[in-house]
Amino acid sequence: MPVPVHVIGGFLGSGKTTLLQKELARRQERCAVVVNDFGEAKIDRQLLGAAVGIQDIPGGCLCCTAPEGLVPAITAILAELRPDRIFIEPSGLARPQDIGDMLRRSAIKAQITLGPVVVLVDPERLQAAPNPLLQEQLEAADILVASRCDIASPTALAHFERSVSTLWPPPLKLLWSAHGEVGAEAWEWPEGAGLRLQAARQDRYPSTWGFEGRSFFFPPDKVFSYDRLRRLVESTAQIERFKGLFLTDLGHIRLDLAGGKTQIQPSAYRRDSRADAIFLEGADIEAFSRALEGCIRGEDAAEGPVLALVDADGNSLSFSREALAGLPGQIEDVAPLVPGREGSGLRLRGLLALGGEGGRVIIAAGDGMTSEAVPLQEAGEAILLHSLSGGPLPEKQGGPFRLLAAGSPCGNVKGVVRIRILPG
């Protein structure tokens, strides 16, 4: 049976370690913990010392400077400790959704089952010093826990409730915790919720005042074409209002259309792709629905793996492994440049030069995982692995193509299928 794995997110000082101490003390099963401390004191590791097994990953945060250590750590825990359950407590500066992304596409995905992401928020901290990362953690929460309620002021608790009321979609559950206590419901998906691959569906709302509403839902493994999606929403004149959360070939986004203007920004939401739309009465909603499904990317029909280079105007060039091996900037052996890696590839600038001018670059994998948007010049120094011992790069080593950005782990992407150049 797959081992349940729980990610406990939350900003610095939100009470993650206290909650985990209480949870471990009440559980009558074999638990293991992965912690990610800053500095050398290893305070969390000492506090959690009574756990069956603890694996510490030092150096920054699991989603940024120490991502390569997470999967090997859990692999070792599964093999050596054989736990009934694993808890992951990342640094307060981590993005919990990135940790889930990493595990869902890892080699151990069949050995684990991800529980809901639990995010702790200290209402006093939220009221006194809100920041973009804290807001991102709120949006990533499947289960949102107001922590330290025993010492929070009424005004801070009221501010917390107002902040939660603005989230769309809301968390699956909202819990209140005092003295680090939280119930068993924090660790289980509510009935009918979660990352299970449910079929696409629509919810209809009655027409009123000349408008008709519709909600659309898609499984979390469907990857949408960013360009087709944006063109569809902007070109459908009968849409009065649209807000959607999508996994696209440029990453997870939130797309809003209001007053004829489109806003697109990154999203921390992961449970599915979804949209709420308000149409003018009489609009051909069924045609829009079919067009929306048509924005889902299909399988590449080419023979053998190919890499697409998309320029700032949306024009695409396709490259086979053999074509990539013929471009300038080849590196016969990457091991001296990237210790622990093997194979041959090329500096990305040799490929980017064929895509014309641009300002930033996004690297996308076949399952929708993307890199951050990085400046074109910086991206050019990255290495694109395309071969191993003169043959294809195996999937287990990140093939068919893998990006290695030495010194910038956030730019490492396995299973690369698309490189997109963005305007300046």
Residue 62's pLDDT band (boundaries 50, 70, 90)?
very low
Query: What mean pLDDT is predicted for residues 142-154?
Result: 95
CATH 3.30.1220.10 residue ranges of the chain are 201-293
Residue 42's pLDDT band (boundaries 50, 70, 90)?
very low
Residue 139's pLDDT band (boundaries 50, 70, 90)?
very high
Measure the CA angle with vertex 256, ends 255 and 260; round to 5°. Answer: 130
Cβ proximity of 412 and 403 under 8 Å: yes
Query: What mean pLDDT is predicted for residues 27-55?
Result: 62
Higher per-residue pLDDT: 26 or 232:
232
CATH 3.90.420.10 residue ranges of the chain are 306-422
Judged against a pLDDT cut of 90, whether residue 146 lies above it is answered with yes
Over the range 292-330, which residues count as b (16 or more CB within 10 Å of their CB) and which as e?
beebbbeeeeeeebbbbbbbbeeeeeebbbeebeebebe
- Using DSSP bridges, classify how beta strands 316-320 and 416-422 pair: parallel, antiparallel or unpaired: unpaired
Query: What mean pLDDT is predicted for residues 109-116?
Result: 93
Residue 183's pLDDT band (boundaries 50, 70, 90)?
confident
Judged against a pLDDT cut of 60, whether residue 43 lies above it is answered with no
CATH 3.40.50.300 residue ranges of the chain are 3-187
Closest CA to 232 of 190, 284, 158: 284
User: What is the chain's mean pLDDT, rounded?
Assistant: 86
Evaluated on CA atoms 177, 182, 187, 191, the torsion sign reads: negative
Higher per-residue pLDDT: 322 or 106:
322
Q: 56: part of which helix (H) or strand (E)?
A: strand 53-56
Q: Which top CATH class is 201-293?
A: alpha beta
Predicted pLDDT at 406: 55
Domain 306-422: give its CATH code: 3.90.420.10
pLDDT digits (tens, 9 = 90+) for 322-346: 999 999 889 999 999 888 889 999 9
Judged against a pLDDT cut of 80, whether residue 138 lies above it is answered with yes
Judged against a pLDDT cut of 90, whether residue 111 lies above it is answered with yes
Rounded Cα gap, residues 385 and 331, in angstroms = 9
Residue 409's pLDDT band (boundaries 50, 70, 90)?
very low
pLDDT digits (tens, 9 = 90+) for 74-94: 888 899 889 999 999 988 888
pLDDT digits (tens, 9 = 90+) for 216-249: 999 988 999 888 999 999 999 999 999 999 999 8
Tell me the fold of 3-187. Rossmann fold (3.40.50)
